[in-house]
């Protein structure tokens, strides 16, 4: 064979090869490259690339439009191949390279995937050969490899630092790079922006293992079964190679090879044997640490899997294509749920709707669709068309919802809300598209329809600052939605400010003013909009509802509650029946005035009350007391609230308040003792900032609740035992997020 091409010939060699390649057509398409098999016929071109007569080459052309969905330690595959060729002589050689085109020597054989498809068992002798390939990589010396990035661990044995580096690198190179285009989709699917960073923070201590060369992408398409059998298997496609803990290579291999479950043990044992013979210290801590690398592979894979599924649908696609993409996304979310600590995974029907909206907003058309500039929907007869927001504006809002950026998607405990702008009908301000979170299952009952409550407030003309309902309907795939006015900063979409540390004096006055205005909401109009708005005995109903909630708690929560000294539902009912309160005129209540449901207005005029899904008709004193229970309230602010409230509201709404407000306060403390314990045990809604705050102070809540009940907390009980129960390990609770309903 002739020598390597001269520097002056490197530009013309790939050009010559591409002329042949494109004429013959591609023989392989990867996620990042087009591969052509070419046999050069021209003598001058063969000399340029150092090829012998009749030798076949591979022309690889990088797909410039490919999504950046992989971690790259080194950018130049040619440097990697040159470094490892001395130890692994059968890997491809880079003959020439220029720009996006590389000329590689051709590896004779067939991909393992062609004789053993994904999901099928792999013969034992092939498993042993694959383990040998991974073990052989340890023989490549570090000094022969290209320089590592500055972010790489300084120690070549620190496995924990390596895994943390992998997670941070995946966040930087994959998640951040694609967040502008796909961030809204990730947020809608329930993947937090900081999921990989949080994963890195949770990496535990690990056994030290000597680092070595890693392939990191050893799946069935990248393993060639050679014709001559010596060696039997050859690794190709080294562009994602890295340097680190060899256990990472085993984990990626196990996941990407898609072995049947029963073969995992066989593969692990073959790797242990093969690796132990070449570098015995590399197998230390195998049983303990492999699961951490498998968890990372599943965690980081959710990003490329979701992006590839979302973009797999052509400009016009059919239901079969949508079903396949939906299944792929659901599978990826289920796999990543535990390692990323996703609070919930949408079911396939919800994912189908999300993908449909996302593709529609990006100009893709379902085969049954006639237009791609809007989404079809049907109006809910319970709400008439709003004069300021006609039908075409609703269609445009639904269309824009799918393309919203991540910072415009607000995921709360019960709703997914997306802020969008519309041009139809010259509507000037952003609006909020709200949808129920499909996996949300509240223990606490909802009494009224939110749209009916907001409409009643609007038509009553009372001075309550609340969103207005612009539309209510069902889109073409059967998912219900509501469109509200956007109550954030005027004229722009950004996170609003909430009184998370308590109300300022003028805000306390403004809140009481609005509670007073609620007493004038027309009850007859509300009952016409929602028949559930009638009221019988509010206090008795409140107690009965708490007894029901406690009685229906899951067994794991009930068992722990008993260990912590909380009474059963039967005993709780006996205690509650000892108390009564004065009758006060029933009025419309917000029901959940926690700080994240209060928005500070930019002009300093007061507060806007959002998220009315827990609204009810009942005792006006309850709304004020529940607010003080849910919000940090200084003694002077509490006194200000109670004094102004008792003076401003009509007498039939305030009589007997001085004796009764403490009754409501201890009932809410008792309720929190059960509800927050259940959230600790189940992990439900812990990403919501109001929930996070509540569970973080659970020790105080428990002590106060048992004291109110006249019981003693068991001295041996530790409420954070809940965190050690199955599926309850939520140490490092989710960071504060946006409110549920803006």
pLDDT band at 571 (very low <50, low <70, confident <90, very high): very high
What is the C-alpha separation between 113 and 221, in angstroms, rounded? 5
Residue 83 belongs to some domain of the structure? yes
- Output phi, psi for 50, to 5 deg: 70, 35
Q: Does the pLDDT value for residue 685 go beyond 70?
A: no
Q: Write down the mean pLDDT value for the chain.
A: 84
Residue 47 belongs to some domain of the structure? yes
Residue 212 belongs to some domain of the structure? no
The DSSP result for 599-665, as a single string, is EE-TTSS-EEE---TT-EEE-HHHHHHHHHHHS---HHHHHHHHHHHHHHS-GGGTTTHHHHHHHHH
pLDDT of 18: 57
What is the C-alpha separation between 424 and 422, in angstroms, rounded? 6
Q: What average pLDDT does this structure show over 380-390?
A: 87
pLDDT of 141: 92
pLDDT band at 563 (very low <50, low <70, confident <90, very high): confident
Domain stop point among 485, 504, 536:
485
pLDDT of 378: 87
The answer to whether the beta carbons of residues 294 and 247 sit under 8 Å apart is: no
Structural domain of residue 408, as residue ranges? 365-485
pLDDT tens for 471-503 read 999 877 677 889 999 887 776 777 788 999 999
Residue 519 belongs to some domain of the structure? no
pLDDT tens for 284-297 read 999 999 999 999 99
pLDDT of 702: 85
Cis peptide before 296 (omega within 30 of 0): no
H or E element in which residue 453 lies: helix 450-460
Query: Of 196, 151, 466, nearest to 342 (Cα)?
Result: 196
Q: What average pLDDT does this structure show over 698-725?
A: 66
pLDDT tens for 133-152 read 999 999 999 999 999 999 99
269 CB-contact burial (10 Å; exposed 0-12 / middle 13-18 / buried 19+): middle
Span of 190-194, 276-280, 531-535 with lowest mean pLDDT: 531-535
Bigger pLDDT: 566 vs 54? 566
| Number of separate domains in the chain | 2
Bigger pLDDT: 294 vs 418? 294
The answer to whether the beta carbons of residues 133 and 235 sit under 8 Å apart is: yes
Domain stop point among 74, 106, 138:
106
Q: What average pLDDT does this structure show over 552-581?
A: 90
- Helix/strand/coil for 419: strand
Domain stop point among 78, 106, 134:
106
* CATH number assigned to the domain comprising residue 17: 3.30.200
Q: Does the pLDDT value for residue 414 go beyond 80?
A: no
Residue 431 belongs to some domain of the structure? yes
Residue 87 belongs to some domain of the structure? yes
Bigger pLDDT: 439 vs 250? 250
Most confident of 59-63, 92-96, 240-244, 412-416: 240-244
Bigger pLDDT: 365 vs 518? 518
Q: Does the pLDDT value for residue 9 go beyond 50?
A: no
Q: What average pLDDT does this structure show over 441-447?
A: 72
Residue 713 belongs to some domain of the structure? no
Q: Specify the pTM.
A: 0.71
pLDDT tens for 619-662 read 999 999 999 999 999 999 999 999 999 999 999 999 999 999 99
Residue 213 belongs to some domain of the structure? no
250 CB-contact burial (10 Å; exposed 0-12 / middle 13-18 / buried 19+): buried
pLDDT of 716: 39
Torsion of CA 527, 528, 532, 533, to 10 degrees: -20
């Amino acid at each position: 064979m002739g020598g390597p091409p001269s520097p002056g010939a490197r530009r013309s060699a790939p050009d010559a090869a591409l002329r042949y390649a494109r004429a013959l057509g591609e023989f392989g398409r990867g996620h990042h490259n087009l591969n052509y098999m070419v046999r050069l016929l021209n003598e001058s071109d063969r000399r340029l690339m150092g090829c012998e007569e009749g030798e076949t080459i591979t022309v690889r052309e990088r797909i410039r439009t490919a999504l950046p969905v992989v971690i790259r330690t080194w950018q130049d595959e040619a440097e990697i191949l040159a470094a490892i060729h001395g130890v692994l002589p059968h890997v491809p050689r880079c003959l020439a390279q220029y720009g996006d085109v590389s000329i590689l020597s051709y590896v004779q054989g067939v991909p393992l995937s062609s004789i053993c498809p994904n999901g099928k068992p792999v013969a034992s002798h092939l498993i042993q050969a694959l383990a040998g390939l991974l073990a052989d990589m340890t023989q490549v010396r570090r000094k022969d490899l290209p320089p590592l990035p500055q972010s790489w661990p300084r120690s070549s044995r620190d496995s924990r630092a390596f895994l943390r580096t992998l997670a941070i690198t995946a966040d930087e190179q994959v998640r951040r790079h694609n967040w502008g285009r796909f961030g809204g989709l990730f947020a809608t699917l329930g993947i937090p922006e900081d999921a990989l960073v949080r994963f890195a923070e949770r990496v535990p201590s690990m056994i030290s293992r000597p680092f070595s060369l890693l392939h990191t992408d050893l799946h069935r398409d990248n393993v060639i079964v050679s014709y001559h059998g010596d060696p039997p298997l050859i690794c190709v496609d080294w562009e994602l190679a890295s340097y680190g803990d060899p256990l990472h290579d085993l984990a990626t291999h196990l996941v990407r090879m898609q072995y049947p479950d029963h073969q995992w043990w066989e593969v692990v044992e073959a790797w242990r044997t093969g690796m132990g013979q070449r570098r015995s210290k590399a197998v230390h801590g195998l049983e303990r640490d492999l699961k951490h690398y498998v968890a990372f592979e599943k965690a980081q894979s959710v990003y490329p899997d979701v992006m590839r599924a979302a973009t797999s649908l052509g400009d016009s696609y059919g239901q079969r294509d949508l079903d396949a993409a939906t299944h792929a996304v659901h599978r990826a979310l289920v796999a990543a749920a535990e390692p990323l600590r996703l609070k919930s995974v949408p079911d396939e029907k919800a994912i189908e709707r999300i993908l449909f909206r996302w593709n529609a907003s990006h100009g893709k058309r379902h085969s049954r669709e006639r237009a791609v500039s809007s989404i079809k929907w049907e109006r809910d007869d319970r709400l008439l068309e709003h004069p300021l927001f006609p039908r075409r504006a609703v269609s445009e809002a639904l269309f824009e919802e799918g393309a919203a950026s991540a910072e415009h998607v607000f995921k709360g405990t019960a709703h997914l809300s997306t802020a969008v702008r519309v041009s139809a009908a010259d509507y000037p301000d952003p609006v909020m598209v709200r949808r129920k979170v499909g996996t949300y299952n509240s223990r606490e009952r909802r009494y009224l329809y939110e749209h009916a409550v907001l409409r009643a407030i609007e038509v009553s003309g009372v001075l309550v600052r609340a969103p207005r309902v612009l539309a209510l309907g069902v889109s073409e795939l059967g998912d219900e939605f509501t469109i509200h006015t956007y109550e954030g900063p005027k004229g722009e979409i950004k996170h609003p400010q909430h009184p998370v540390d308590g109300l300022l004096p003028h805000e306390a006055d403004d809140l009481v003013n609005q509670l007073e205005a609620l007493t004038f909401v027309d009850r007859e109009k509300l009952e016409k909009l929602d028949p559930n708005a009638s009221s019988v005995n509010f206090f008795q109903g409140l107690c009965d509802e708490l007894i029901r909630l406690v009685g229906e708690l899951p067994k794991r929560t009930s068992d722990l509650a008993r260990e912590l000294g909380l009474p059963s539902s039967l005993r709780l009912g006996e205690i509650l029946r000892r108390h009564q309160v004065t009758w006060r005129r029933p009025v419309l209540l917000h029901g959940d005035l926690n700080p994240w449901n209060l928005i500070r207005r930019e002009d300093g005029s007061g507060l806007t009350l959002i998220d009315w899904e827990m609204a009810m008709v009942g005792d006006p004193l309850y709304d004020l007391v529940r607010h003080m229970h849910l919000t940090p309230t200084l003694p002077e602010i509490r006194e200000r609230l109670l004094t102004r409230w008792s003076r401003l509201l009509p007498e039939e709404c305030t009589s007997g308040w001085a004796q009764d407000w403490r009754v409501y306060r201890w009932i809410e403390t008792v309720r929190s003792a059960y509800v927050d314990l259940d959230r600790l045990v189940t992990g439900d809604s812990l990403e919501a900032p109001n929930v996070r705050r509540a569970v973080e102070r659970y020790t105080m809540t428990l002590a106060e609740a048992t004291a109110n009940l006249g019981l003693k907390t068991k001295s041996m009980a530790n409420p954070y035992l809940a965190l050690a129960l199955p599926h309850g390990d939520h140490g490092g609770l989710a960071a504060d997020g946006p409110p549920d309903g803006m």
